[in-house]
Structures are given as structure tokens and as C-alpha cells.
Structure 1
Amino acid sequence: MSLRHSFPLLLAAALSASLLGACASRAPQAQPEKIDVAQALAAGDASYARGEYEDALLEYVRAGSARSDDAATLLRIGRTQERLNQSALAADAYLRVLRLQPDHAEASESLGLILLHQGKNEAAAKLLQAAIKRNPKSWRAYNGLGVLADLAGDYAGAAARYAQADALKPEQPEVLNNLGYSRYLAGDYVQAQRYYRRVLAGAPDNAKAWSNLGLLYVRQNQYPQAVAAFSEIMSPAEAHYSAAYVCMLEHRNDDAARLYQQAIALSPSYYEAAYRGLARLRRESAARQGGAP
């Protein structure tokens, strides 16, 4: 965030929090200045379309201060706060929408996805299922339910949910990445790679796909391919370090040590981080051999 926008953004966040609190409490308060709600919403929509989310939020909050129980305004506030990574405030806005309109599909979907990222899986599942009931074309809700199934180890159920999302939104990178990672978790590395390659065919700079592909190659002991994949999104030294770190987590200590040494050779700046990794490997090796750490 630039310094130029930091104050408007903080102000908008504070105002929107106050607005949501006022909606809930309905406490008596002084009459606000007369606001042209339609004009404020139109200005907010124009700013949102240009990607000027701080300015959009200010306009939406102005509209909301004059019409605090309007679900459409609160929905705009929630969407914009998500764009600004203010997930807690966005969740409050979506919850307020659902109190006004319990059958609102988008608010159910959006709040469910926020709760999923917060690890509140049971509540997330209920909201995402409700979103699909209200809008059977909600690919994001199907995608979220696929993630929940993966987390539960239900890979067949996850595949079914992702397939429904893919049918509704073909070639969506987020869905294809999740399909690939789900197959990776299930041990189907061939199919996992196919999904990652589908992402990269349409979006060659998709960092998540390259990262997932690198992880897949490490799992298969294909280190040159792993380093090449990681190198698409980071420096060669970082790529070697990343591959080494995954090897270390999987207790492939000899391979990890070799990759750490290569990271150091490529960039002395990685010496400290790689040395810490090597030191950890030596301690683990000594412990396994019954020696002093």
C-alpha cells in the first residue's frame, strides 16, 4: 500500500467498522449530513471498476451511513474490503447481509470462503452448501467444498466437487490448481502434473502452478525438474533452497544437503539460511546415530 493511500484506507476501515456496529446496535445518534446515496454508490462502482478500492470503500461507506440497512450497499462494502485484504471486516459485512436476507447466495458464498481460510471448516461447509442451494452455478462454492473434502482426506469427494466447479467455470486456474493438488495428495502424480500443465498452458506466469509442480517433482526425486519449475518464480539459488527445504521436511537428508550446498554456491547471500538447514540435518543425523546433537 502506498503512503498516499494509507490514510484514506485506514479511515474507510474505521468508518465501515463504525457503520457495521451502528447497524447492529441501532443506538440513537446525531443526524448525518444529507448524502445522495445513488451518487455515492455510482462513484464507488466507478472507482471499484478502475481498481481504486480505497476510494470505492469510502464512497460505499458514505452511502451506508445514510442507508445502513441496505443489503446491496453492505455487499459492496464486503467485496471491497476483501479486495483490500480486510477479511474480518468483510466477514462482518457479509454477516450483516445474511441477517437482512438469510437466503443471499453471494453473501453465503463469500462468508463461507472467508471462514474456510480462517480454518472454521464446519461453519464454512454449511454456508457453502447453502450458497449452492441458492445458486447452483456457484463455482467458487463448489471449489471451496472441494478444499474442505481434501482437508478431510476425502479425495474422491474433492474430485467430484472440483469437477462441478470446472464444469461451471472451465479452465479456471484456481480450480485446476486445486484439482492437481488433490491428485497429488491422493498419490496420483501423473494426473496432478496434467492439471498443473493445463494451468500453465493458459497462464504461463501462474506462480501457484509452478510452485505446485516443483513440489510434485521433489516428491518424485526429480530434482533438476523441480529446480527448473521453482526457477520460473524465483532465483536459481532460491529454487535450490526451496527444493532442499522440501527434501529436509521429508527426511531426505543427503539430497537436502546437496541442494543446500548448491544454493550456497549460486548465491553467498543464501549461506546463512542454507547453513542453518545443514546444521539441522547434522543434528538429526547425530540423533539417529545416538550421538550428541
Structure 2
Amino acid sequence: MKHIDWMVKASCIGLVLAVMAGCASTPTAKDHDYSDLYSGKSKLTFSTLMPLDSAAEGITRGDAAAARGDLDQAIFEYLRALELEPDNAESFYKIGVLNLRKQELTKALTAFQMAAKNDPNHAGALEGMGLVLMQMRQPERARILLERAIELDPKRGQSHNALGILADLRGDFDEAVKHYDAALMLSPLSARLQNNLGYSHYLAGHWDQAEQSYLSALNADPGHKRAWLNLGQLYTREERYDEALEVLTEVVPTAEAYNIMGYICMNAEKLDDAKRFFSKAAEASPSYYVTAHENLAQVQRLLAQRNP
């Protein structure tokens, strides 16, 4: 990581804190009842738990509960740890991670904010805020936090993946590939990352590279549905229709595969091919009759506009 002098570093921290302030008001740890960090099983469920001797013991118990999939108990244990050590950034961070897993976005954001308030250089908390803000459709705030996270810790793969997605959304495909490659250096067998890299190549028009990445994703995880669908989309755009049908029917019924191919062709203004595939979808399954015929009607309108 490049050296950053103290003036630039102070500026970066100030910018991150400004983003945090813009997300929501950040509660203080002390004199806080933490009710906005937890929703789940009643506290009575955990009334028989043994008392904690230290905050560290609470974190250890929380980690064990999280490992066995009991997210509510894990959060409860971290909250008990905070009662003994109210400024423990790691406890807040772990609560944020689990609330994010539960898709409790507001609670996750609050927990990550509190972690960062107690430790402004907590890369995980900054990453967590960025990931939440992406889901809240605040991409620019998310980008600032995620970039700060990898500045503090270049090995944060989730941040690199998220920054790749954000770069794709704004059409900066070279930047996206750079982040996906950085993430793959950390997790070379990740089907999700290979698929994301493939889609970035696809958007950039680098279809050979996209195919290689999708195949790498499927080699890593043959059950990765999104990679199969993306590969089918690519083959359809390349008019490799037999191969497209073959890969799509790995994960969807034949009628749905034809309907997908027809929709892709329609968007690519290959209207005759779209008409043919929508007809095949209707023939393949009565359940697709209405959908396919609605699509056929749209294609016929487009053909009529093309050939008045």
C-alpha cells in the first residue's frame, strides 16, 4: 500500500466521518440501550445463560453461537459484552455483520457506525457500512467507504468485489476488472467473483474473456445458476443458439430457456429470431403460452414498425 502522509490521511478520515454523518445520526455507546441493534428471539429465551466474567468471554460465546448458525444468540452475547465494555468496536462490528446477514440493514448500519465511531480505522466497519449503503442504493457514499476500507486493509475481498460492481454500474469496466482481479487473488476459487468478472467483460464487449470467466465459475461451482444464465445470454448474443439452449436448460425448463433467448434477441433487435424462440416457448409449455404470446405480440409490433 502506498504511503500516505498524515495530512492526506486526516483528510480521508474526515471524509469518511462526513459520509457516516450523512447516512444517519450515530448513537453513542454509553447511555444507549442497544434496542436498535437487535430484533429476534425474546431476551427471555436467553435468561438461563451463564453470566459473563469479561467482554472477551462474551465475544467468544458470540463467535461460537454464530459458527453454529444461531445468529440471534450470537448478537445477544455481543450485546452482553458491550454492557461490560461499551466502547468495544469489535463487538459492534460483529453485530453489524450478523444483522447484515439477516438483512436487517438499518440495524447493521447503526452497528457499523458505532464500531467506526469507536475505531475510525476499523476496516471491517467501513466495509460493512459500504456494503449496506450499496443495498440502500447510495453508491457514491458506499464507494468512499469501501475505498477507505481497502486503503486500510488491501485484503478485504468483499470491498474489492463491491467496488467492481459499482464500477460496472458507472461503465468503468477497466476499474471493475482491476477490483475483481484483486478479489480473485484472495479467493481464486470463488465462482461468484469469476461470474462477476465475466459479466464485466461481457458489458465491455470482450465476449471471449467473458466466456472464459463464466466457464471458470462453473468449474469452481457447477451449480452456480447465475453463471449458467449469463453463459446462455452470451451464447444467444453470439447466435450460438444450440449451445445457448444447452447451457440454459442446465438450470431452467426448456420453455423458460426459449423465452429467455427470445427476450435477449428482442433486446438485440434480432426480431425474427426472437419471434421464433417465443413461438418455441409457447409450444414447449402451456404455462408459457400467455407470456410467450405477449412477447410475440411485442415482436410483431416492432417488426411492423421496421417494415411499415
TM-score by length of 2: 0.77
Distance 1:88 1:214, change over 3 A: farther
Q: Report how far residue 106 of structure 1 moved.
A: 0.7
Q: Does 1:268 align with 2:280?
A: no
> Which runs of structure 2 are paired with 1:127-276 in the superposition (5 Å)?
127-276=145-294
- Greater Cα shift, 201-210 or 237-246: 237-246
Q: Distance in 2 between matches of 1:91 and 1:216?
A: 37
Deviation string 1:149-203 (CA, Å, 9 cap, x unpaired) is 2222222222222222222222322221121111111111111100111111121
The code of the aligned residue for 2:254 comes to P
Q: Distance in 1 between matches of 2:232 and 2:58?
A: 47
The code of the aligned residue for 1:267 comes to S
Q: Distance in 2 between matches of 1:28 and 1:222?
A: 61
Q: Is the 8 A contact 1:35 1:62 kept in 2?
A: no
Residue among 62, 69, 76 paired with 1:44: 62
Q: Distance in 2 between matches of 1:47 and 1:21?
A: 30
Q: Distance in 1 between matches of 2:26 and 2:145?
A: 25
Higher relative contact order (CA 8 A, sep 6+): 2
Aligned residues: 269
Distance 1:21 1:127, change over 3 A: closer
Deviation string 1:220-272 (CA, Å, 9 cap, x unpaired) is 12222222222222222221122222222223222222112211222111112
Residue among 92, 100, 107 paired with 2:118: 100
Q: Distance in 2 between matches of 1:60 and 1:25?
A: 13
CA RMSD of aligned residues (A): 2.8
> Which runs of structure 2 are paired with 1:23-34 in the superposition (5 Å)?
23-24=27-28
The code of the aligned residue for 1:78 comes to G
Q: Distance in 2 between matches of 1:231 and 1:28?
A: 54
Q: Distance in 1 between matches of 2:72 and 2:29?
A: 26
Residue among 96, 99, 123 paired with 1:81: 99
Q: Distance in 2 between matches of 1:25 and 1:79?
A: 18
The code of the aligned residue for 1:226 comes to A
Moved over 6 A (4+): none
Q: Distance in 1 between matches of 2:214 and 2:198?
A: 6
Identity of counterpart residues, as a percentage?
A: 36
Q: Report how far residue 147 of structure 1 moved.
A: 2.1
Q: Is the 8 A contact 1:94 1:111 kept in 2?
A: yes
User: What runs of 5+ residues in structure 2 fail to find an aligned partner?
Assistant: 1-23, 34-42
Q: Is the 8 A contact 1:40 1:62 kept in 2?
A: yes
Q: Is the 8 A contact 1:35 1:66 kept in 2?
A: no
Q: Distance in 2 between matches of 1:196 and 1:220?
A: 15
User: What runs of 5+ residues in structure 1 fail to find an aligned partner?
Assistant: 1-19
